[in-house]
Amino acid sequence: MTWTPGLALWCLIFAGIGAAGTWIARGYALRSRLLDAPGERRSHSVPTPRGGGIAIALAFLVAMVAMVARRPDEIVLLACAGIGLVLVAGIGWVDDHRPLSPWSRLAVHVLAAGWLMAGVYLSGRGGVTALVAFGAALVLVNVWNFMDGINGLAATQAALVVAGLAFLAGTDAVLVHLGLALIASIFGFLPFNFPKARIFLGDVGSGALGYALALLLAMSLHRLPEAAWPLVLLPLSAFLLDAGLTLSARIIGGEKWWTPHVQHVYQRWARRLGGHPPVTIAFALWTLVACSGAAWLAGSGRREIAMVVSVWLVSGIGLWRVLRVRSATPTTN
Protein backbone atom coordinates (compact mmCIF):
# COMPACT_ATOMS: atom_id res chain seq x y z
CA MET A 1 0.00 0.00 0.00
CA THR A 2 1.43 3.38 -1.06
CA TRP A 3 2.31 5.89 1.67
CA THR A 4 0.25 9.06 1.19
CA PRO A 5 -0.31 12.34 3.08
CA GLY A 6 -3.68 10.91 4.05
CA LEU A 7 -2.05 7.93 5.77
CA ALA A 8 0.39 10.27 7.54
CA LEU A 9 -2.54 12.34 8.85
CA TRP A 10 -4.32 9.15 9.90
CA CYS A 11 -1.28 8.12 11.96
CA LEU A 12 -0.89 11.59 13.51
CA ILE A 13 -4.52 11.57 14.61
CA PHE A 14 -4.21 8.25 16.40
CA ALA A 15 -0.82 9.06 17.90
CA GLY A 16 -2.49 12.17 19.30
CA ILE A 17 -5.38 10.16 20.70
CA GLY A 18 -2.93 7.74 22.29
CA ALA A 19 -0.82 10.48 23.85
CA ALA A 20 -3.68 12.70 25.03
CA GLY A 21 -5.66 9.73 26.30
CA THR A 22 -2.69 8.39 28.26
CA TRP A 23 -2.04 11.81 29.80
CA ILE A 24 -5.70 12.05 30.89
CA ALA A 25 -5.66 8.46 32.18
CA ARG A 26 -2.54 9.17 34.24
CA GLY A 27 -4.17 12.19 35.87
CA TYR A 28 -7.26 10.13 36.64
CA ALA A 29 -5.19 7.28 38.09
CA LEU A 30 -3.23 9.64 40.36
CA ARG A 31 -6.42 11.31 41.62
CA SER A 32 -8.11 7.94 42.18
CA ARG A 33 -5.04 6.32 43.76
CA LEU A 34 -5.15 3.70 41.02
CA LEU A 35 -1.59 2.54 41.63
CA ASP A 36 0.42 -0.65 41.30
CA ALA A 37 2.42 -0.98 44.51
CA PRO A 38 5.83 -2.73 44.47
CA GLY A 39 5.93 -6.24 45.86
CA GLU A 40 7.43 -9.68 45.51
CA ARG A 41 5.08 -10.38 42.59
CA ARG A 42 5.91 -7.12 40.79
CA SER A 43 8.87 -6.09 38.63
CA HIS A 44 8.86 -2.38 39.56
CA SER A 45 10.21 -0.61 42.64
CA VAL A 46 7.95 2.46 43.05
CA PRO A 47 4.14 2.89 43.09
CA THR A 48 3.04 3.53 39.51
CA PRO A 49 -0.36 4.49 38.04
CA ARG A 50 -2.09 1.88 35.89
CA GLY A 51 -4.81 1.95 33.26
CA GLY A 52 -3.03 4.00 30.59
CA GLY A 53 -3.91 1.41 27.98
CA ILE A 54 -7.48 2.67 27.91
CA ALA A 55 -6.20 5.32 25.48
CA ILE A 56 -5.07 2.61 23.06
CA ALA A 57 -8.39 0.77 23.40
CA LEU A 58 -10.37 3.94 22.68
CA ALA A 59 -8.13 4.86 19.74
CA PHE A 60 -8.63 1.44 18.19
CA LEU A 61 -12.39 1.67 18.63
CA VAL A 62 -12.37 5.06 16.91
CA ALA A 63 -10.37 3.55 14.05
CA MET A 64 -12.87 0.70 13.70
CA VAL A 65 -15.78 3.15 13.53
CA ALA A 66 -13.91 5.23 10.96
CA MET A 67 -13.26 2.16 8.82
CA VAL A 68 -16.93 1.17 8.92
CA ALA A 69 -17.72 4.62 7.49
CA ARG A 70 -15.16 4.08 4.71
CA ARG A 71 -15.83 0.38 4.15
CA PRO A 72 -19.47 -0.42 5.02
CA ASP A 73 -18.96 -3.90 3.55
CA GLU A 74 -16.90 -4.70 6.68
CA ILE A 75 -19.57 -3.57 9.15
CA VAL A 76 -20.38 -7.09 10.36
CA LEU A 77 -16.78 -7.98 11.21
CA LEU A 78 -15.94 -4.63 12.76
CA ALA A 79 -19.19 -4.32 14.71
CA CYS A 80 -18.80 -7.80 16.23
CA ALA A 81 -15.12 -7.19 16.96
CA GLY A 82 -15.97 -3.80 18.46
CA ILE A 83 -18.41 -5.40 20.89
CA GLY A 84 -15.76 -7.93 21.87
CA LEU A 85 -13.15 -5.24 22.35
CA VAL A 86 -15.48 -3.26 24.61
CA LEU A 87 -16.08 -6.42 26.69
CA VAL A 88 -12.36 -7.19 27.06
CA ALA A 89 -11.32 -3.61 27.76
CA GLY A 90 -14.30 -3.11 30.06
CA ILE A 91 -13.59 -6.11 32.28
CA GLY A 92 -9.93 -5.07 32.34
CA TRP A 93 -10.88 -1.54 33.42
CA VAL A 94 -13.03 -2.95 36.24
CA ASP A 95 -10.22 -5.29 37.26
CA ASP A 96 -7.79 -2.37 37.34
CA HIS A 97 -10.04 -0.72 39.94
CA ARG A 98 -10.89 -3.75 42.05
CA PRO A 99 -9.36 -7.17 41.37
CA LEU A 100 -11.78 -9.77 40.03
CA SER A 101 -11.47 -13.54 40.07
CA PRO A 102 -9.57 -14.96 37.09
CA TRP A 103 -12.57 -17.11 36.23
CA SER A 104 -14.96 -14.15 35.89
CA ARG A 105 -12.44 -12.45 33.61
CA LEU A 106 -12.06 -15.64 31.59
CA ALA A 107 -15.82 -15.92 31.15
CA VAL A 108 -15.93 -12.43 29.64
CA HIS A 109 -12.95 -13.25 27.44
CA VAL A 110 -14.76 -16.34 26.11
CA LEU A 111 -17.81 -14.21 25.32
CA ALA A 112 -15.66 -11.61 23.55
CA ALA A 113 -13.86 -14.34 21.58
CA GLY A 114 -17.27 -15.64 20.53
CA TRP A 115 -18.19 -12.22 19.13
CA LEU A 116 -14.98 -12.15 17.10
CA MET A 117 -15.59 -15.66 15.83
CA ALA A 118 -19.11 -14.69 14.78
CA GLY A 119 -17.87 -11.58 13.01
CA VAL A 120 -15.18 -13.47 11.12
CA TYR A 121 -17.61 -16.19 10.03
CA LEU A 122 -20.51 -13.91 9.10
CA SER A 123 -18.17 -11.67 7.08
CA GLY A 124 -17.44 -14.60 4.79
CA ARG A 125 -13.93 -15.44 5.97
CA GLY A 126 -14.69 -19.12 6.55
CA GLY A 127 -15.33 -21.46 9.45
CA VAL A 128 -11.71 -22.46 9.97
CA THR A 129 -10.56 -18.84 10.16
CA ALA A 130 -13.41 -18.13 12.58
CA LEU A 131 -12.33 -20.95 14.87
CA VAL A 132 -8.72 -19.76 14.75
CA ALA A 133 -9.93 -16.24 15.60
CA PHE A 134 -11.78 -17.58 18.65
CA GLY A 135 -8.69 -19.39 19.92
CA ALA A 136 -6.41 -16.48 19.08
CA ALA A 137 -8.57 -14.05 21.03
CA LEU A 138 -8.55 -16.23 24.14
CA VAL A 139 -4.82 -16.90 23.92
CA LEU A 140 -3.55 -13.44 22.99
CA VAL A 141 -5.70 -11.51 25.47
CA ASN A 142 -4.25 -13.58 28.30
CA VAL A 143 -0.72 -13.81 26.90
CA TRP A 144 -0.50 -10.01 26.65
CA ASN A 145 -1.77 -9.79 30.21
CA PHE A 146 0.83 -12.30 31.42
CA MET A 147 3.65 -10.57 29.56
CA ASP A 148 2.82 -7.00 30.59
CA GLY A 149 5.25 -6.84 33.48
CA ILE A 150 8.14 -4.54 32.55
CA ASN A 151 8.40 -1.13 30.92
CA GLY A 152 7.54 -0.98 27.24
CA LEU A 153 7.52 -4.72 26.59
CA ALA A 154 3.85 -5.44 25.82
CA ALA A 155 3.39 -2.23 23.84
CA THR A 156 6.50 -2.59 21.65
CA GLN A 157 5.80 -6.25 20.96
CA ALA A 158 2.24 -5.44 19.91
CA ALA A 159 3.46 -2.74 17.49
CA LEU A 160 6.00 -5.10 15.92
CA VAL A 161 3.51 -7.95 15.59
CA VAL A 162 0.99 -5.62 13.92
CA ALA A 163 3.64 -4.50 11.44
CA GLY A 164 4.49 -8.11 10.63
CA LEU A 165 0.85 -9.12 10.14
CA ALA A 166 0.11 -6.07 8.00
CA PHE A 167 3.07 -6.88 5.75
CA LEU A 168 1.93 -10.47 5.30
CA ALA A 169 -1.61 -9.33 4.48
CA GLY A 170 -0.34 -7.23 1.59
CA THR A 171 -3.03 -5.02 0.08
CA ASP A 172 -5.79 -5.41 2.69
CA ALA A 173 -6.55 -1.71 3.15
CA VAL A 174 -8.77 -2.22 6.22
CA LEU A 175 -6.10 -4.22 8.01
CA VAL A 176 -3.39 -1.73 7.08
CA HIS A 177 -5.43 1.25 8.32
CA LEU A 178 -6.39 -0.49 11.55
CA GLY A 179 -2.81 -1.65 12.04
CA LEU A 180 -1.39 1.83 11.50
CA ALA A 181 -3.94 3.29 13.92
CA LEU A 182 -2.95 0.74 16.58
CA ILE A 183 0.78 1.31 16.06
CA ALA A 184 0.34 5.09 16.15
CA SER A 185 -1.68 4.97 19.37
CA ILE A 186 0.99 2.73 20.91
CA PHE A 187 3.64 5.30 19.98
CA GLY A 188 1.48 7.93 21.65
CA PHE A 189 1.43 5.82 24.80
CA LEU A 190 5.08 4.68 24.86
CA PRO A 191 6.71 7.94 26.06
CA PHE A 192 4.71 7.51 29.27
CA ASN A 193 5.84 3.91 29.69
CA PHE A 194 9.39 3.54 28.34
CA PRO A 195 12.20 3.66 29.31
CA LYS A 196 10.77 4.97 32.60
CA ALA A 197 7.18 4.06 33.42
CA ARG A 198 4.96 6.94 34.47
CA ILE A 199 1.91 4.75 33.88
CA PHE A 200 1.26 1.11 33.05
CA LEU A 201 -1.09 -0.34 30.43
CA GLY A 202 -3.17 -2.04 33.08
CA ASP A 203 -5.48 -4.96 32.30
CA VAL A 204 -7.60 -2.64 30.18
CA GLY A 205 -4.64 -2.03 27.87
CA SER A 206 -3.01 -5.45 27.77
CA GLY A 207 -6.34 -7.15 27.11
CA ALA A 208 -7.28 -4.66 24.41
CA LEU A 209 -3.93 -5.17 22.67
CA GLY A 210 -4.31 -8.94 22.69
CA TYR A 211 -7.85 -8.73 21.32
CA ALA A 212 -6.89 -6.24 18.61
CA LEU A 213 -4.05 -8.54 17.55
CA ALA A 214 -6.47 -11.48 17.32
CA LEU A 215 -8.68 -9.45 14.96
CA LEU A 216 -5.74 -8.42 12.77
CA LEU A 217 -4.39 -11.98 12.79
CA ALA A 218 -7.74 -13.32 11.55
CA MET A 219 -7.81 -10.69 8.81
CA SER A 220 -4.27 -11.56 7.73
CA LEU A 221 -5.03 -15.30 7.61
CA HIS A 222 -7.89 -14.57 5.24
CA ARG A 223 -5.36 -13.06 2.82
CA LEU A 224 -2.76 -15.83 3.18
CA PRO A 225 -2.80 -19.26 1.53
CA GLU A 226 -3.29 -21.96 4.16
CA ALA A 227 0.24 -23.26 3.54
CA ALA A 228 1.58 -19.90 4.79
CA TRP A 229 -0.53 -19.72 7.96
CA PRO A 230 2.34 -20.90 10.21
CA LEU A 231 4.16 -17.67 9.32
CA VAL A 232 1.99 -15.72 11.77
CA LEU A 233 3.65 -17.66 14.59
CA LEU A 234 6.99 -15.99 13.91
CA PRO A 235 6.10 -12.41 14.97
CA LEU A 236 4.24 -13.82 18.00
CA SER A 237 6.96 -16.29 18.99
CA ALA A 238 8.67 -14.26 21.75
CA PHE A 239 5.48 -13.86 23.78
CA LEU A 240 3.99 -17.27 22.97
CA LEU A 241 7.16 -19.07 24.01
CA ASP A 242 7.80 -17.22 27.27
CA ALA A 243 4.14 -17.29 28.32
CA GLY A 244 3.48 -20.86 27.22
CA LEU A 245 6.65 -22.42 28.59
CA THR A 246 6.45 -20.56 31.90
CA LEU A 247 2.80 -21.54 32.33
CA SER A 248 3.64 -25.16 31.56
CA ALA A 249 6.49 -25.15 34.09
CA ARG A 250 4.19 -23.76 36.78
CA ILE A 251 1.49 -26.35 36.06
CA ILE A 252 4.00 -29.22 36.09
CA GLY A 253 5.42 -27.84 39.35
CA GLY A 254 1.98 -27.96 40.96
CA GLU A 255 1.83 -24.18 41.47
CA LYS A 256 -1.27 -22.01 41.40
CA TRP A 257 -0.61 -21.02 37.81
CA TRP A 258 -3.45 -18.47 37.67
CA THR A 259 -1.93 -16.26 40.39
CA PRO A 260 0.48 -13.33 39.74
CA HIS A 261 4.18 -14.18 39.76
CA VAL A 262 7.59 -13.04 38.48
CA GLN A 263 8.80 -16.31 36.95
CA HIS A 264 8.63 -15.39 33.28
CA VAL A 265 12.05 -15.25 31.67
CA TYR A 266 11.59 -11.56 30.85
CA GLN A 267 10.94 -10.81 34.54
CA ARG A 268 13.84 -12.90 35.83
CA TRP A 269 16.18 -11.48 33.21
CA ALA A 270 15.20 -7.88 34.02
CA ARG A 271 15.75 -8.55 37.72
CA ARG A 272 19.17 -10.05 37.04
CA LEU A 273 20.22 -7.13 34.83
CA GLY A 274 18.81 -4.58 37.26
CA GLY A 275 16.72 -2.79 34.62
CA HIS A 276 13.92 -3.15 32.09
CA PRO A 277 15.15 -1.45 28.86
CA PRO A 278 17.77 -4.07 27.84
CA VAL A 279 15.19 -6.85 28.06
CA THR A 280 12.55 -4.90 26.14
CA ILE A 281 15.09 -4.09 23.43
CA ALA A 282 16.32 -7.70 23.25
CA PHE A 283 12.75 -8.96 22.82
CA ALA A 284 12.20 -6.34 20.13
CA LEU A 285 15.29 -7.50 18.23
CA TRP A 286 14.09 -11.11 18.37
CA THR A 287 10.70 -10.11 16.97
CA LEU A 288 12.25 -7.92 14.28
CA VAL A 289 14.29 -10.88 13.06
CA ALA A 290 11.18 -13.07 13.23
CA CYS A 291 9.15 -10.56 11.19
CA SER A 292 11.97 -10.34 8.64
CA GLY A 293 11.97 -14.12 8.39
CA ALA A 294 8.22 -14.19 7.85
CA ALA A 295 8.55 -11.60 5.08
CA TRP A 296 11.39 -13.56 3.48
CA LEU A 297 9.37 -16.79 3.55
CA ALA A 298 6.19 -15.26 2.11
CA GLY A 299 5.50 -17.06 -1.14
CA SER A 300 7.59 -20.10 -0.20
CA GLY A 301 6.25 -23.65 -0.26
CA ARG A 302 4.53 -25.46 2.60
CA ARG A 303 7.58 -27.62 3.39
CA GLU A 304 10.04 -24.71 3.56
CA ILE A 305 7.70 -22.66 5.75
CA ALA A 306 7.02 -25.56 8.13
CA MET A 307 10.73 -26.35 8.41
CA VAL A 308 11.89 -22.79 9.12
CA VAL A 309 9.06 -22.06 11.57
CA SER A 310 9.79 -25.33 13.42
CA VAL A 311 13.51 -24.57 13.65
CA TRP A 312 12.78 -21.06 14.87
CA LEU A 313 10.42 -22.27 17.60
CA VAL A 314 12.76 -25.04 18.72
CA SER A 315 15.60 -22.52 18.87
CA GLY A 316 13.38 -20.24 20.94
CA ILE A 317 12.66 -23.05 23.38
CA GLY A 318 16.38 -23.66 23.77
CA LEU A 319 17.09 -19.98 24.32
CA TRP A 320 14.27 -19.79 26.87
CA ARG A 321 15.78 -22.66 28.84
CA VAL A 322 19.24 -21.06 28.81
CA LEU A 323 17.94 -17.67 29.93
CA ARG A 324 15.76 -19.24 32.60
CA VAL A 325 18.73 -21.04 34.13
CA ARG A 326 21.15 -18.13 33.87
CA SER A 327 18.69 -15.61 35.29
CA ALA A 328 17.54 -17.80 38.15
CA THR A 329 19.39 -15.70 40.72
CA PRO A 330 20.51 -12.06 40.53
CA THR A 331 24.19 -11.35 40.25
CA THR A 332 25.88 -9.94 43.31
CA ASN A 333 28.68 -7.41 43.48
Note the pLDDT of residue 299. Answer: 85
pLDDT band at residue 243, thresholds of 50, 70 and 90? very high
Task: Tell me, yes or no, whether 331 lies in a domain.
Answer: no
Burial class of 265 by CB neighbour count within 10 A (0 to 12, 13 to 18, 19+)? buried
Contacts of 5 (CB under 8 A, 6+ apart): none
pTM check: above 0.85: yes
Q: What angle do CA 108, 111, 113 make, to 5 degrees?
A: 110
Task: Tell me, yes or no, whether 333 lies in a domain.
Answer: no
Note the pLDDT of residue 261. Answer: 83
Average pLDDT over residues 189-217: 96
Structural domains counted in the chain: 1
Amino acid of residue 83? I
Task: Tell me, yes or no, whether 161 lies in a domain.
Answer: yes
pLDDT band at residue 19, thresholds of 50, 70 and 90? very high
Whether 76 has a pLDDT exceeding 70, the answer reads yes
Average pLDDT over residues 220-240: 95
What percent of the chain has a predicted confidence (pLDDT) above 70? 96
Average pLDDT, the chain: 93
Task: Tell me, yes or no, whether 184 lies in a domain.
Answer: yes
Average pLDDT over residues 145-159: 95
Whether 191 has a pLDDT exceeding 80, the answer reads yes
Whether 1 has a pLDDT exceeding 70, the answer reads no
What percent of the chain has a predicted confidence (pLDDT) above 90? 83
Whether 40 has a pLDDT exceeding 70, the answer reads no
- Measure Cα distances from 119 to 92, 226, 253 in Å: 22, 20, 39
Q: What is the per-residue pLDDT across 276-304, written as a single tens digit (0 to 9) for each?
A: 999 999 999 999 999 999 999 988 899 99
Whether 329 has a pLDDT exceeding 90, the answer reads no
Q: What is the per-residue pLDDT across 6-17, written as a single tens digit (0 to 9) for each?
A: 899 999 999 999
Note the pLDDT of residue 331. Answer: 42
Q: What angle do CA 14, 213, 90 make, to 5 degrees?
A: 75
- Separation CA 14–CA 188 (nearest Å): 8
Dihedral class, residue 274 (left if φ above 0, else alpha if ψ from -120 to 50, else beta): left
Task: Tell me, yes or no, whether 332 lies in a domain.
Answer: no
Other C-beta atoms closer than 10 Å to the C-beta of 309 total 21
The range of the structural domain enclosing residue 42 comes to: 5-326
Whether 333 has a pLDDT exceeding 50, the answer reads no
